């Protein structure tokens, strides 16, 4: 895996993964049925953690996204491996980590390091995408959507389509890379063909962002509409998924979930069940999925870590259990 000046890739040894699993008699946990090698034919999903909050901080957001993967992993590995999961369908690839502390860097330096991180993430996921696997990327800021989109477009050989559940469109100006402009960069540079973002907060997107979306044909809906019309959210997702058969890049910003410890915490928003429904609908659709990206969770205390860890574990289970199930159901 690649290595540069400010970032490194680290594998997680099998013994370290095994130490996180609380084994019980007559039970099998997910951590006990992982694929040993992501190149195995039966392995469909490849889990990658990103331990950074450089992108959110470069966008004036809260720190803490670097802790999300570590909160998630033990919770996920201790879920039950039952009839809903195909053994060997997922491999834990490892983590992308900053090499040095960035606590005291100014915004200009942070944005330059986001550019370096872009290249690092791209080179890390590219061979996984080229092999036809589905990366599931956990942690870090939404800045990492840009290199994921760029990698998917390179593999597809054409601009890709992206679906996003997010209170923010992340179409800020091209002012230097950060977590708030992944999609405007991807659209402007021609990597992103059709962008659809659901659940935007009207008070959290500037008029300039709204104009950018209008000018570039970004399909978007607002959370306020879903408050007024229960059931509209699921209708909108179903309608979007049915319109085309093109492959999708799947984004879910953890900021969208009400009270979720995140880089842009909000007391108002969707509930976790909405986010789970969104992922299950996308993964159950006939459309091929390039990757699934779950950024922006930012736990900074043990109690926040428990919330984030369990929420992310539910979401990833929803991703892998829909298409990953294949074990026969016992007859009554």
Mean of all residue pLDDT scores within the chain? 93
Nearest Cα to Cα of residue 244 among 206, 177, 199, 193: 193
Residue 332 lies in a domain: no
- Mean pLDDT in residue range 166-172: 98
SS3 assignment, position 105: coil
Digit-coded pLDDT (tens) for 304-317: 999 999 999 999 99
In the prediction, which pLDDT does 235 show? Answer: 96
- Mean pLDDT in residue range 124-135: 98
In the prediction, which pLDDT does 323 show? Answer: 52
C-alpha gyration radius of the chain: 19
In the prediction, which pLDDT does 55 show? Answer: 95
Residue 132 lies in a domain: yes
Q: Domains in the chain: how many in total?
A: 1
Query: What CATH number does the domain containing 177 carry?
Result: 3.40.800.10
State which residues form the domain around 264.
7-324
Residue listed under structure tokens 């090499």: 99
- Of the pLDDT bands very low, low, confident and very high (cuts 50, 70, 90), residue 331 is very low
Distances (CA, A) of 194 to 95, 142, 234, 251, 253: 29, 18, 20, 13, 18
Digit-coded pLDDT (tens) for 31-72: 999 999 999 999 999 999 999 999 999 998 889 999 999 999
Residue 159 lies in a domain: yes
Distance CA 53, CA 141 (A): 6
Digit-coded pLDDT (tens) for 136-161: 999 999 999 999 999 999 999 999 99
Write down the pTM of the prediction.
0.94
First and final C-alpha spacing in the chain: 48
- Reply yes or no on whether the pLDDT at 330 is more than 60: no
- Reply yes or no on whether the pLDDT at 163 is more than 90: yes
Residue 331 lies in a domain: no
Distance CA 73, CA 309 (A): 7
In the prediction, which pLDDT does 102 show? Answer: 64
Digit-coded pLDDT (tens) for 180-217: 999 999 999 999 999 999 999 999 999 999 999 999 99
Residue 2 lies in a domain: no
SS3 assignment, position 222: strand
Residue 330 lies in a domain: no
Residue 307 lies in a domain: yes
- Of the pLDDT bands very low, low, confident and very high (cuts 50, 70, 90), residue 103 is low
Residue 134 lies in a domain: yes
Q: What region, left, alpha or beta, does residue 270 occupy, with left being phi > 0 and alpha being psi -120 to 50 degrees? A: beta
């Amino acid at each position: 895996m690649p290595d540069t000046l400010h970032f490194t890739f680290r594998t997680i040894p099998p013994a370290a993964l095994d130490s996180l699993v609380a084994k019980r008699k007559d039970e099998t946990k997910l951590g006990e049925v992982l694929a040993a090698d992501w190149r195995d034919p039966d392995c469909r999903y490849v889990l990658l953690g990103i331990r950074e909050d450089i992108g959110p901080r470069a966008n004036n957001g809260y720190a803490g996204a670097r802790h999300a993967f570590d909160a998630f992993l033990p919770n996920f590995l201790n879920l039950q491996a039952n009839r809903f999961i195909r053994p060997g369908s997922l491999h834990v690839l490892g983590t992308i980590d900053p090499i040095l502390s960035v606590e005291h860097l100014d915004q200009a330096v942070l944005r330059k390091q986001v550019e370096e991180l872009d290249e690092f993430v791209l080179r890390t996921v590219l061979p996984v995408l080229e092999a036809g696997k589905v990366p599931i990327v956990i942690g870090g800021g939404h800045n990492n959507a840009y290199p994921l989109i760029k990698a998917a477009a390179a593999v597809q050989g054409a601009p890709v389509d992206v679906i996003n559940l997010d209170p923010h469109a992340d179409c800020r100006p091209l002012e230097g890379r950060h977590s708030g402009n992944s999609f405007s960069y991807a659209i402007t540079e021609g990597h992103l063909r059709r962008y659809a973002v659901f659940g935007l907060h009207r008070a959290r997107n500037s008029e300039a962002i709204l104009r950018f979306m209008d000018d570039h044909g970004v399909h978007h809906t607002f959370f306020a509409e879903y408050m007024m019309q229960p059931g509209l959210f699921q209708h909108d997702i179903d309608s979007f998924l049915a319109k085309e058969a093109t492959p999708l890049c799947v984004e879910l910003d953890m900021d969208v979930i009400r009270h979720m410890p995140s880089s842009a915490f909000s007391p108002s928003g969707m509930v976790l069940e909405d986010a789970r429904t969104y992922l299950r609908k996308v993964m159950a659709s006939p459309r091929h999925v390039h990757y699934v990206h779950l950024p922006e969770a930012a736990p900074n205390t043990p109690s926040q870590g428990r919330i984030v860890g369990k929420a992310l574990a539910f979401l990833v289970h929803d991703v892998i259990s829909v298409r990953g199930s294949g074990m026969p159901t016992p007859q009554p």
